[in-house]
Amino acid sequence: MNFLAVEWNPSIGIDLGFFVVRWYSLMFVVAFLLGLRLMKKIYIEDKIPVEKLDVIFMYVFISMLIGMRLGDVFFYSWDYYQHNLIEIILPIKKSPQNSLFGIIKGWKFTGYTGFASHGAAIGIPIAMYFYAKKHLQKPWLFILDRLGIMVALAGFFIRFGNFFNSEIYGKETGSNFGVIFTKAGETVARHPTQLYEAFSYLILFFVLWNLYWKTTKKLQTGYLFGVFMVALWSLRFFIEFLKEPQVDTREDWVFNALNTGQVLSIPLVLIGIWLMFRKTAETK
């Protein structure tokens, strides 16, 4: 008897009659709009023309999607994609029983179905290097210090989107506590790891926000981004112990103890530690 468990079976989104606004997509949009609004306050504080925000939106959005897509392909699903290279770029899938838009037989439209946050952790910083060099004329880590605050906030909304989709959930709790993801066909209580991550990232956002506004740490180039890297990927590392494996193979890499997400998190945490404690001159 799961009297302490929550049965979770939400709608897919807001039905407008002619169109359904999916919860995950809505969370994505809210994350970007709120992030831009808060980033504007930071740009004003740093005396950076707010017109440059329009450009950073495109840099972040495109690099995030490309990075997350390639992250899933190469970190989690290469065994599949190495034999289906066209599906890396195009949102289609081989399907002998279907036809693409009723024209091309043997294929169907699927949309992009695989994304990995570790890919975004590579793609976004690379894009920010070119953004900082071309549009800000400031150090690369200057913009990463500030963008990390917004990414932590975005992580909160995106994991809430995962919760609405009943995906990336945790292992069975073995008790009456937890969430029964009915929409995913589950009948037992599981750890709502999406919520564990979401609220952890929200706390991280407030920590970074306060460090920026109430301390002088923002003058220490790379420090805020270092805190972001250490905290976020450490949280991800430990919460992974409660998650169900995201792929059927390659999940156990180190002594059958660490999964792919944990292994990828370790170097990111180490980079963050180095950024926090390296000697650097203060920016003006």
Task: Give me the phi and psi of 84, to 5 degrees please.
Answer: -140, 60
- Segment 90-110 shows an average pLDDT of 61
Assign 174 a pLDDT band (cuts: 50, 70, 90): confident
- Tell whether the model's pLDDT for residue 1 goes beyond 50: no
Does the pLDDT at position 101 exceed 60?
no
Number of domains in the chain: 1
Predicted confidence at residue 42, as pLDDT, reads 96
Residue 229 domain flag: yes
Instruction: Name the one residue in this structure whose structure tokens are 């990390």.
Output: 148
Is residue 66 one of the residues assigned to a domain? Answer: no
Contact 198, 160 (CB under 8 A): yes
11-15, 220-224, 276-280: which is most confident: 220-224
- Reported as a single tens digit per residue, the pLDDT across 204-226 is 999 999 999 999 999 999 999 99
Instruction: Return the minimum-mean-pLDDT range out of 70-74, 92-96, 100-104, 237-241.
Output: 100-104
Kindly state whether residue 224 falls inside one of the protein's structural domains: yes
Residue in 123, 124, 141 with CA at minimum distance from that of residue 132: 141
Predicted local distance difference test score (pLDDT) of residue 222: 94
Q: Is residue 253 part of a domain?
A: yes
Least confident of 67-76, 140-149, 185-194, 213-222: 67-76
The pLDDT tens digits of the residues spanning 248-265 come to 554 555 556 788 788 889
Q: Do the beta carbons of residue 219 and residue 211 sit within 8 Å?
A: no
- How does pLDDT run across 49-90, given as a tens digit for each residue? 988 888 888 888 888 888 888 888 887 777 877 877 776 777
Find all residues with CB under 8 Å of 33, minimum gap 6, and list them.
none
How far apart are the C-alpha atoms of 274 and 159, rounded to whole Å?
Answer: 28
Task: Compare 195 and 9 and report the one with higher pLDDT.
Answer: 195
Indicate whether 18 belongs to any domain.
Answer: no
> Which tops the pLDDT comparison, 269 or 52?
269
* pLDDT at position 223: 96
Q: Does a structural domain hold residue 8?
A: no
Interhelix angle for 117-131 vs 140-164, to 10°? 150
Residue 111 carries which DSSP code? -
Model confidence, pTM? 0.81
pLDDT confidence band for 278 (50 / 70 / 90) = confident
Instruction: Provide the CA 200 distance to its chain's centre, in angstroms.
Output: 13
Instruction: State the pLDDT confidence band at 235, using cuts at 50, 70 and 90.
Output: very high
The pLDDT assigned to 141 comes to 94
Residue 149 resides in a domain: yes
Length of the chain: 284
How far CA 49 is from CA of 39, 43, 54, 133, in Å, comes to 12, 7, 11, 15
**pLDDT of 162 over the 50 cut:** yes
Say if 173 falls within a structural domain. yes
Which range marks the domain in which residue 208 is found?
29-48+140-277
Residue 153's Cβ-side half-sphere holds a number of Cα atoms within 13 Å equal to 21
Question: Can you tell me the distance from the alpha carbon of 45 to that of 59, in angstroms, rounded to the nearest whole number?
Answer: 22
Which percentage of the chain shows pLDDT scores above 70?
82
Q: Specify the amino acid at residue 190.
A: R
Ranges 8-12, 116-120, 141-145: which has the least confidence:
116-120
200 vs 124 pLDDT, higher one? 200
How far apart, in whole angstroms, are the C-alpha atoms of residue 70 and residue 235? 23
Amino acid at 217: K
Mean pLDDT of the chain: 84
